[in-house]
Amino acid sequence: MSVSRGEAPLLGVVDYTVFALMLSVSAAIGVYYGFFARSSGADDYLVGGRSMSTIPVSMSLIASFISGIMLLGIATESYLYGMQYAYVCLGVILSSAINAFAFLPVFYDLGITSTYEYLDMRFGRSARLLGSFFFVTFTLVWIPIVIYVPAVAFNQVTGINIHIVSCAVCVVCIFYTCVGGIKAVVWTDVVQTVFMFGGVLLVIFKGTADVGGFGVVWSRNLQSGRIEPPVLDPDPKVRTALPSLVLGGAIHWLAVSGIHQMMIQRYMSLPSLSKANRALCIFTVGSMCLVLICSYCGLLMYARYFDCDPLTTKMARAKDQLLPLMVADSLGGFPGLPGLFVASVFSAALSSLSTALNSMSAVVLEDFWKVFFPSRRLSERQTDLLMKGVVVAVGVLCTALVFVVEKMGSAVLQMAISLGSMSHGPSLALFTTGMFFSWVNAKSAIVGSMTGMGMMGWLVIGAQLHQARGNIGFATKPLSTDGCLYEFDHSQNGTVAVPSDFCTSEVWAVYCVSYLWYTALGLVTSVTVSLVASIFLRQDASRPDARLISPLVRRWLPPASRPQIYKVVEMETMPAVEQRKVYDPPDNALSQ
């Protein structure tokens, strides 16, 4: 069946077989690492014994960070608003540079498993629990949406039952994450990254050929204004201006890839900082490539539907259905190819879920059990049961929450996605104040982050409510139905096109600020309040150890606070050519 005739295409048996093959390969990897190459101890289960290889970890970073929401969302962004978002790649480069020089060396040299161990060393237990709370809350809100969005998109376009596919995906993911640990997660991520790139590139090549070649794609999008130079307007209310994309985008990417547990845990699985930096470079390039090719998919969608917008005709009932609709229409005559794209989108969802489950087990073990029960040391068997129990429990909870998300409806779903940004800025602020401002103590840092959390909650919820009421809107690029070859209900078409940005007079200007600045606003607010609070709240007599301060500012510490950071020793259990940085700290060096 064809979209051009007004019919929604369905997947066939071969397509379901390809999708099932992806799930089967993922499960087989879990079986191998769970029963034939078993993990020994928490260190092996959570960080792979800190001896994993750079390439698979790099691919795991890409797969974990790129969710199905991002794959579908970036394409929709280009279709509706043009290619401005692609300039966020400049912000990605900036965030990676900051991470490499400012944050990653501190985490790596400390040899931690949980990111929030740093907060305990720097500020104490309360800050550690606050950071862990931010992570747990964000994960439990975000992961069900990561599973739900691609599932509902394909359900409404291709007929795949959302309950069956979401449960199947979650069960397979829980299985291989539980039995195989991080090694299974990383290697399934490798397979899923191949599916992601393969599926999206397949759509690009076939779709471009269908519309008449790259020249047609370029000319149609150029004429519609979708291909344009970056907008240099410094006004923060401009939705995707270059300053917002570079500065706001860099801070957002730093928060979700530079200090986030799901990312740092993978860096910590590598044996040296140099390999971690190489993995960071590969991750940066890979993420930029996915952003660019997904942006091109949006341009390709417009080239195909330039005179018959599926959103206006209600062929696509939600924006995230545009890309799978085009895929099924373009590849429907080739059995198995639509299934490959389905597998690519759900691969992104699987990798995000598996990474979250593995990271959650690390946080529960390191930041909750060891903090609240320091005297109850677990045996290796008990530790293994605790970690796997957390994976199963959180996985089941996330699967159940998918059904809750389904009942919310699209407006609440949009709000839930935006709510995730509430914790990014305040969480990044805890690490920023800890690593860059040696005089800020625990009370000041916590007050700052809690204030930032409250302000961002007020801002994000308020902005979403005003958008839902129609008080705020952003201009879309031209859309048309003049060339539609099928009948549709003109009385209910309700085009999604918006001629220009608007923010009514009854809306306070701060609610009109671009979403790209949300994380930056949370960071600046939290850090500012922390610095001001440090003036009034009693300071600790001792300064933090230099190892807890970013290398970018260590040079300005008093000489007495700058001990030898580390020494290189040869490990007896490793080959002679392999060396590892370990600490030889003085007594109570990291105590507060």
* Most distant pair of Cα atoms in the chain: their distance: 79
Asked whether 239 and 246 are in contact (CB, 8 A), the reply is no
pLDDT the model gives residue 60: 86
Show the CA angle centred on residue 40, arms to residues 35 and 46, nearest 5°.
100
Question: Rounded to two decimals, what is the model's pTM?
Answer: 0.85
pLDDT the model gives residue 15: 78
pLDDT, one tens digit per residue, over 525-558 is 999 999 999 888 876 656 778 889 999 988 877 6
Alpha helices in 332-379 (DSSP H): 337-363, 370-372
What is the C-alpha end-to-end distance of the chain, expressed in Å? 68
- In this structure, what token pair is assigned to residue 116? 């929030």
**In a 3-state reduction of DSSP, which class is residue 59?**
helix
Domain-located, residue 483: no
3-state secondary structure 247-302: HHHHHHHHHHHCCCHHHHHHHCCCCCHHHHHHHHHHHHHHHHHHHHHHHHHHHHHH
pLDDT the model gives residue 554: 84
| Residue 353: closest CA among 143, 176, 104 | 143
Domain-located, residue 189: yes
Residue 235 is part of which domain span? Answer: 3-413
- In this structure, what token pair is assigned to residue 239? 């939705």
CA distance 470 to 458: 18
- In this structure, what token pair is assigned to residue 526? 């939290």
Asked whether 488 and 310 are in contact (CB, 8 A), the reply is no
pLDDT the model gives residue 487: 79
- In this structure, what token pair is assigned to residue 439? 């005089």
Domain-located, residue 437: no
> How many CB atoms within 10 Å of residue 577?
6
What CATH number has the domain bearing residue 332? Answer: 1.20.1730.10
pLDDT the model gives residue 118: 93
Domain-located, residue 500: no
Domain-located, residue 38: yes
Place of tokens 């946080």: 363
Task: Tally the domains of the chain.
Answer: 1
DSSP letter string over 367-424?
Answer: IIIHHH-TT-PPPHHHHHHHHHHHHHHHHHHHHHHHHHHHHH-HHHHHHHHHHTHHHH
| Residue 534: closest CA among 182, 123, 193 | 123
Name residues whose C-beta falls within 8 Å of residue 98's C-beta, 6 or more positions apart in sequence. Answer: 250, 254, 258
CA distance 133 to 147: 22
Domain-located, residue 21: yes
pLDDT the model gives residue 96: 94
pLDDT the model gives residue 105: 92
pLDDT the model gives residue 23: 82
pLDDT the model gives residue 341: 79
- In this structure, what token pair is assigned to residue 423? 């914790």
CA distance 341 to 218: 24
Q: State the burial class of residue 9 (Cβ atoms within 10 Å of its Cβ: 0-12, 13-18, 19+).
A: buried
- In this structure, what token pair is assigned to residue 110? 């400390």
| pLDDT by position in tens, the chain (length 592) | 444 444 545 567 787 788 788 888 888 888 888 777 766 677 788 888 788 889 988 988 888 777 777 778 888 889 999 999 999 999 999 999 999 999 999 998 888 888 999 999 999 899 999 999 888 888 888 888 888 877 776 676 566 677 777 888 888 888 988 888 888 888 888 888 888 888 888 889 989 999 999 999 999 999 999 999 999 988 888 888 999 999 999 998 999 888 888 888 889 888 889 999 999 999 999 989 989 998 999 999 999 999 888 888 888 777 777 888 888 788 777 777 777 877 777 777 788 888 888 889 889 988 888 888 887 888 888 888 899 999 999 989 988 888 777 766 544 445 555 667 788 899 999 999 999 998 898 999 999 999 999 999 898 888 888 887 888 888 888 888 888 887 777 655 556 667 777 787 778 888 888 888 999 999 999 999 999 998 888 766 567 788 899 999 888 776 655 544 433 333 333 433 343 334 344 333 343 3
Domain-located, residue 402: yes
pLDDT the model gives residue 505: 74
Domain-located, residue 165: yes
DSSP letter string over 502-536?
Answer: EE-TTS-GGGGS-GGGHHHHHHHHHHHHHHHHHHH
CA distance 155 to 301: 20
The type of residue at 549 is: I
CA distance 300 to 585: 57
Asked whether 567 and 558 are in contact (CB, 8 A), the reply is no
pLDDT, one tens digit per residue, over 166-216 is 888 888 888 988 888 888 888 888 888 888 888 888 889 989 999 999 999
- In this structure, what token pair is assigned to residue 27? 């499960």
| Residue 252: closest CA among 124, 112, 85, 132 | 85
